[in-house]
């Protein structure tokens, strides 16, 4: 039963993300000059399998810099309009036939409510998720999938911010 619920939730999340992405989510990246990076903590299971936060961070920094996308310090991000944060989550999922993983990358920014200009919150303005079930979790596969999700972000960013 838990497995069915997990699979249903995964499909619903992917459907919601796909609809949001198809309706112009990339336009939300227009005008961004850079962002602060956050890598969520990894589970002990992922670390035992060779996945490292430091390596994920390194890969993000290299790819963003190669694409000409600015990376902000905490101080600079806090004074940049929207206070943009690009956040990566990698999580392992167990099921009876093996393991899987979820990779989610999203842009968090300060959002002002149209109906109440005094109401300001941080909200997700761009998101991409991948869920893969594999017989075994391999670090190289997780890094490759994280790279693919990051490439989606870079493509959308560059489309929204042509040079």
The pLDDT tens digits of the residues spanning 2-13 come to 555 555 555 556
119 compared with 17, residue with greater pLDDT: 119
Query: What's the pLDDT score for residue 140?
Result: 84
- CA-CA distance, 87 to 69, in Å (whole number)? 15
CATH of domain 2-160: 3.30.160
The DSSP bridge partners found for residue 86 are: 37, 107
Q: What stretch of H or E contains 95?
A: strand 85-95
**Percentage of the chain exceeding pLDDT 90:** 52
CA–CA dist 138, 25 (Å, integer): 31
Global pTM value = 0.80
Per-residue confidence (pLDDT) for residue 159, from 0 to 100? 95
Alpha carbons 28 and 44: distance in angstroms, whole number: 35
Give the model confidence (pLDDT) of 33-46 as tens digits: 999 999 999 999 88
The set of residues, in sequence order, having a beta carbon less than 8 Å from that of 142 and lying 6+ positions away, is: 46, 49, 51, 90, 101, 103
Given a cut of 80, whether residue 94 has pLDDT beyond it is: no
Please give the full DSSP string across 69-122, using - where no structure is assigned: -EE--HHHHHHSTT--EEEEEEEEEEETTEEEEEEEEEEEEEEE-SS-TT-EEE
Domain ranges within the chain, ordered by starting residue: 2-160
For 101-134, the pLDDT digits (tens) are: 899 999 999 988 888 888 888 899 999 998 887 6
């Amino acid at each position: 039963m838990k497995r069915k619920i997990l699979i249903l939730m995964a499909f619903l999340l992917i459907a919601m993300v796909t609809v949001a992405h198809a309706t112009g989510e990339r336009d939300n990246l227009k005008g961004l000059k850079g962002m602060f990076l956050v890598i969520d903590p990894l589970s002990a299971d992922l670390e035992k399998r060779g996945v490292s936060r430091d390596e994920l961070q390194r890969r993000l920094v290299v790819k963003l810099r190669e694409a000409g996308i600015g990376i902000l310090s905490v101080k600079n991000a806090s004074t940049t309009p929207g206070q943009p944060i690009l956040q990566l989550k990698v999580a392992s999922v167990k099921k009876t036939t093996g393991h899987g993983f979820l990779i989610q990358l999203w842009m968090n920014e300060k959002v002002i409510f149209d109906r109440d200009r005094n109401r300001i919150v941080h909200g997700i303005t761009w998101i991409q998720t991948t869920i893969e079930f594999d017989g075994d979790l391999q670090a190289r596969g997780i890094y490759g999938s994280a790279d693919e999700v990051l490439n989606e972000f870079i493509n959308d960013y560059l489309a929204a911010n042509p040079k």
